[in-house]
């Protein structure tokens, strides 16, 4: 099996050591990735530093053109990337799976390429002229998770490149293959050293956070890892953008049509088998419509086919890795003793269907839980949804806010203006009305409380990759 090598200074770099990347659908080796050492990290940073000296001087219009070329290169190789992604991550090719993710990466790149950060004139009068410049930081270190390896890599890399920075990216050791190949394609249209990719275990990320040659870290992942990155980067005073875990709450008001909202609720919670930071992870439903909403949601969920992602009729895949499978299993096992299982809850049947292979977990919906139950309080990051009954709107808002995380939330109602008033009381960075988790490249996205700081996307996200310089004349 031919390994996927590191990409440093525009070249494939073998390291002499590789690690296995498993397919979560069958627990077989999907591919081999070269294992980076500290020396490889140093080489990648050095290459990025050298490239930065020239790339920072390239006019913005030319950097925009380069980003458009990246989009075209991804599009040309979309099917290959999608198949690598399915093999290592487990998500299906079809539906909201690998092909959708790669297509989203293309669209996101093209939108971002159109952004601009012109000089801003703060003052121009008899007392003088004051101009604000947005200048690139230098080498950006990107650390990405295993749930959306291609999409999140694009979210990190493209705005960094557009704003004049250079990049060293380290993907999750669970899903490095698609990112290594993606960066290889990027290097076909970018100067050497502008984007570099190294692969390795978690300690490599810690070394990046502490590295003197990296000026900014952008990280998407768990709160626990985010705290470690903050600690490791403190000595060098790095700029940070941290998009951390979420435990998103949805509030269903009593005026809804349960049948009409069932599909939106389902995909809000179970997209990517629930392995999404901004997925719906706690659902608060008014007593008047509680039973009806539960019933419609269960009926809709029963129609969804789970299986190996290469099967064209599959819409949801496995949990990505054994550790996460164990977390989900433990939370559900505890919740079964506290609430009422409406669907799923027992992985034995689906594992039997898959001949005992893979980290498949059934779609699970558990009703009659409360705040304080682990499945409600903790981010499950899997195909499981707890449903909590409430009687008064202020009670639902209080319970939704009673969590240390604050990434996203949603309100479900026919009265849009009332829903907006409730949304404004929710303690989270994004709130959707009658949908959940539908992020867009033209809208800033980020969390509050322990869900991180800084934003991604749109002009506000692009500014995160710059330092301000003010010139008085």
The domains of the chain, with CATH numbers, are: 6-244+451-472 (3.40.605.10), 248-440 (3.40.309.10)
Strands (E), 290-346: 340-343
From first to last of its 473 residues, what are the pLDDT tens digits of the chain? 899 999 999 999 999 999 999 999 999 999 999 999 999 999 999 999 999 999 999 999 999 999 999 999 999 999 999 999 999 999 999 999 999 999 999 999 999 999 999 999 999 999 999 999 999 999 999 999 999 999 999 999 999 999 999 999 999 999 999 999 999 999 999 999 999 999 999 899 999 999 999 999 999 999 999 999 999 999 999 999 999 999 999 999 999 999 999 999 999 999 999 999 999 999 999 999 999 999 999 999 999 999 999 998 999 999 999 999 999 999 999 999 999 999 999 998 898 888 889 999 999 999 999 999 999 999 999 999 999 999 999 999 999 999 999 999 999 999 999 999 999 999 999 999 999 999 999 999 999 999 999 999 999 999 999 999 999 99
pLDDT given for residue 95 in this prediction:
94
Q: What confidence score (pLDDT) does residue 332 get?
A: 98
| Residue among 34, 17, 79, 85 at smallest CA distance from 196 | 34
Asked if 163 and 134 touch (Cβ cutoff 8 Å), the reply is yes
Distance between CA atoms of 223 and 246, rounded to whole angstroms?
A: 9
Strand, coil or helix: what is 458? helix
Residue 1: per-residue pLDDT: 87
Q: What is the DSSP string of 379-447?
A: ---SSEEEEEEESSHHHHHHHHH-SSEESEEEEE-S-HHHHHHHHTTS-SSEEEESS-----TTS-B--
Q: pTM here?
A: 0.97
Give the DSSP letter of residue 356. Answer: T
H/E element holding 264?
helix 258-270
pLDDT at 175 (0 to 100): 98
pLDDT at 463: 98
Position 150 scores a pLDDT of: 98
Neighbours of 156 (CB within 10 A): 24
Give me 85's structure tokens.
């992604």
Catalytic residue numbers read 243, 277
Are 265 and 233 spatial neighbours (Cβ–Cβ below 8 Å)? no
What CA–CA distance (Å, rounded) separates 283 from 340? 14
pLDDT for position 174: 98
Pairing of strands 128-136, 405-406: unpaired
Q: What angle is formed at CA 245 by the lines to CA 318 and CA 385, rounded to 5 degrees?
A: 50
How many alpha carbons fall within 13 Å on the CB side of residue 43? 18
**Cα–chain-centroid distance for residue 403?**
20
Dihedral sign, CA of 424, 426, 429, 433?
A: negative
Q: Quick one: which H or E segment has residue 367? A: strand 364-367
65 touches 9 (CB < 8 A): no
Question: What distance in Å separates the CA atoms of residue 281 and residue 318, rounded to the nearest whole number?
Answer: 18
Per-residue CA distances from 387 to 44, 232, 368, 403, 424 (Å)? 47, 38, 6, 16, 22
Q: State the pLDDT at residue 318.
A: 98
pLDDT at position 349: 87
Residue 472 φ/ψ region, left for φ over 0, alpha for ψ in the -120 to 50 degree band, beta for the rest: beta
Pairing of strands 195-197, 405-406: unpaired
- Rounded to whole angstroms, the Cα distance separating 91 from 99 reads 10
Give Cα separations from 210 to 229, 358, 392 (angstroms). Answer: 8, 36, 48
Stated as kind and residue range, the H or E segment containing 20 is strand 18-22
Asked whether the beta carbons of 427 and 449 are under 8 A apart, the reply is yes
**Residue 45, φ and ψ in degrees, nearest 5:** -65, -40
């Amino acid at each position: 099996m031919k390994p996927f090598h590191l990409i440093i200074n525009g070249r494939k770099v073998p390291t002499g050591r590789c690690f296995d990347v498993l397919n979560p659908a069958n627990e077989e080796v999907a591919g081999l990735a070269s294992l980076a050492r500290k020396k490889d990290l140093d080489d990648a940073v050095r290459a990025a530093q050298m490239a930065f000296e020239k790339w920072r001087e390239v006019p913005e219009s030319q950097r925009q053109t380069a980003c458009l070329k990246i989009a075209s290169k991804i599009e040309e190789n979309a099917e290959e990337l999608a198949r690598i992604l399915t093999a290592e991550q487990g998500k299906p090719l079809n539906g909201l799976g690998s092909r959708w993710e790669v297509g989203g990466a293309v669209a996101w790149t093209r939108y971002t390429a159109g952004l601009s950060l012109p000089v801003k004139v703060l003052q121009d009068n008899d007392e003088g002229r004051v101009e604000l410049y947005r200048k690139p930081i230098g080498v950006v270190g990107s650390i990405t998770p295993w749930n959306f390896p291609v999409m999140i890599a694009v979210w990190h890399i493209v705005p960094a490149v557009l704003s004049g920075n250079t990049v060293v990216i380290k993907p999750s050791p669970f899903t490095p293959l698609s990112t290594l190949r993606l960066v290889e394609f990027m290097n076909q249209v970018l100067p050497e050293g502008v984007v570099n990719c190294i692969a390795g275990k978690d300690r490599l990320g810690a070394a990046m956070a502490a590295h003197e040659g990296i000026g900014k870290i952008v990280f998407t992942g768990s709160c626990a890892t985010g705290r470690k990155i903050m600690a490791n980067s403190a000595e060098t005073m790095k700029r940070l953008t941290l998009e951390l875990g979420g435990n998103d709450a949805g509030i269903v008001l009593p005026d809804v049509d349960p049948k009409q909202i069932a599909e939106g609720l389902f995909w809000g919670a179970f997209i990517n088998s629930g392995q999404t930071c901004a997925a719906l992870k706690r659902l608060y439903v008014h007593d008047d419509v509680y039973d009806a909403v539960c019933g419609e949601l269960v009926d809709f969920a029963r129609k969804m086919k789970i299986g190996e992602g290469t099967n064209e009729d599959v819409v949801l895949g496995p949990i990505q890795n054994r550790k996460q499978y164990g977390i989900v299993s433990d939370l559900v096992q505890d919740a079964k003793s506290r609430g009422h299982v409406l669907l799923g809850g027992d992985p034995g049947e689906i594992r039997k269907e898959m001949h005992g292979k893979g980290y498949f977990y059934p779609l699970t919906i558990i009703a009659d839980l409360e705040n304080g139950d682990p499945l409600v309080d903790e981010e499950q990051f899997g195909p499981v949804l707890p449903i909590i009954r409430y009687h008064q709107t202020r009670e639902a808002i209080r319970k939704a806010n009673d969590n240390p995380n604050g990434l996203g939330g949603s309100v479900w109602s026919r009265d849009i203006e009332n829903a907006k008033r409730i949304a404004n009381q929710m303690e989270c960075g994004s709130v959707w009305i009658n949908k959940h988790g539908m992020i867009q490249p033209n809208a800033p996205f980020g969390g509050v409380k322990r869900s991180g700081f800084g934003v991604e996307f749109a002009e506000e996200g692009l500014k995160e990759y710059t330092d301000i310089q003010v010139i008085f004349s």
